[in-house]
Amino acid sequence: MTFGAGSFSAGALRGAGGVVDHRLSRRHLINEYRRGRLRLDQVCDAHPELIRAAKNLGTPATIACPICSEQELRLVTYVFGSRLPAHGRCVSTAAELAKLNARPDELTAYVVEACVSCRWHHLLRVLPVGRRPPRARASS
């Protein structure tokens, strides 16, 4: 499952870094492939674990794969940060994301698109998660 910036709390977006969008580099890479400057094996080389996650946990994208034109493009969200596994955590539900977003430590979510047909993949966005500001205590 993937989540847009609207899924994250305003506090998390204020407290941490901003959203980094990689659409321009994606467009450049696709254009280089279409011009023949990159081979298919150079752009369709997703790791088998990413393809497995896309098949089993990914959210279908609203567009077709930019390389093979199949409707097999999936969005996968990984979260990295303290007290998470070194390889990150693949987020598959909104409830799981909400739980991570409520944590006081800074986390980072990476939204990746992956085609399960041709193995195209590209990082789309990097988003801050968590780091909720502490609640103000009532004065006595």
Report pLDDT for 9.
47
Which residue positions in the chain have pLDDT lower than 50?
Answer: 1, 5-6, 8-16, 140
In a domain, 37, yes or no: yes
Which range of residues forms the domain containing residue 10? 5-130
Q: What is the pLDDT of residue 132?
A: 63
The count of structural domains within the chain is 1
Q: Is residue 54 part of a domain?
A: yes
Domain assignment present for residue 135? The answer is no
pTM of the model: 0.79
**Contact (Cβ atoms closer than 8 angstroms) between residue 3 and residue 101:** no
Q: Which residues pair with 59 in a beta bridge?
A: 75
Q: Let me know if residue 140 belongs to a domain.
A: no
Taking the C-alpha atoms of residue 80 and residue 98, their distance in angstroms, rounded to an integer, is: 15
For the chain, how many residues are written? 140
In a domain, 139, yes or no: no
Question: Is residue 6 helix, strand or coil?
Answer: helix
Residue 55 within a domain: yes
Q: What is the dihedral of CA 96, 100, 102, 107, to 10 degrees?
A: -160
Distances in Å between the Cα of 108 and the Cα atoms of 1, 58, 88 are 16, 18, 10
Tokens standing for 89?
């955590």
Residue 100 placed within a domain: yes
What pLDDT is stored for residue 135 in this prediction?
Answer: 56
Answer yes or no: is 138 within a domain: no
